[in-house]
Structure 1
Amino acid sequence: MALRNAVMAALLEGEASGYDLSKRFDASVANFWMATPQQLYKELDRMESQGLIEARVVLQERRPNKRLYSLTAAGHQALHDFTAEPARPTAIRDELLVKVQAVDGGDAAAVHTAIAELLESSRAKSARYDLDRERLLAGRTEEQFLTGAERVGPYLTLMRGRAFEEENIRWAERALTVLERRSTLPA
Structure 2
Amino acid sequence: MSLKYAVLAALLEGEASGYELSKVFDVSLANFWPATPQQLYRELERLAQDGLIAARVVRQERRPDKRMFTLTEAGRADLDAFAAAPPRRPTAIRDELLIKIQAADGVAPEVSRALIEERLGWSRGKLARYERVRERLLAGRTEDEYLREADRIGPYLTLSAGIAFEEENARWCERALLLLERRAAVG
Task: Calculate the aligned-residue CA RMSD, in Å.
Answer: 1.5
Residue 27 of structure 2 is matched in structure 1 by: 27
Deviations 1:5-30 (A, max 9, x none): 00000000000000111111112122
User: 2:108 and 2:57 mapped to 1: Cα distance?
Assistant: 54
Q: Secondary structure at the match of 2:70?
A: strand
Residue 123 of structure 1 is matched in structure 2 by: 124
Shift of 1:107: 4.2
User: 1:9 and 1:144 mapped to 2: Cα distance?
Assistant: 24
* Identity among equivalent pairs (%): 63
Compute the TM-score of the two structures, normalised by the length of structure 2.
Answer: 0.94
1:56 aligns with 2:56: yes
1:41 aligns with 2:41: yes
User: 2:58 and 2:107 mapped to 1: Cα distance?
Assistant: 56
Equivalences, count: 185
Shift of 1:129: 0.7
- The one-letter code of the counterpart of 2:132 is L
Moved more, 96-105 or 128-137: 96-105
User: 1:3 and 1:123 mapped to 2: Cα distance?
Assistant: 27
The answer as to whether partners of 1:119 and 1:168 remain within 8 angstroms in 2 is yes
Unaligned runs of 5+ in 1: none
Deviations 1:32-53 (A, max 9, x none): 2111111100110111111111
The answer as to whether partners of 1:31 and 1:157 remain within 8 angstroms in 2 is no
User: 1:103 and 1:37 mapped to 2: Cα distance?
Assistant: 33
1:101 aligns with 2:102: yes
Moved more, 31-40 or 10-19: 31-40
The answer as to whether partners of 1:31 and 1:160 remain within 8 angstroms in 2 is no
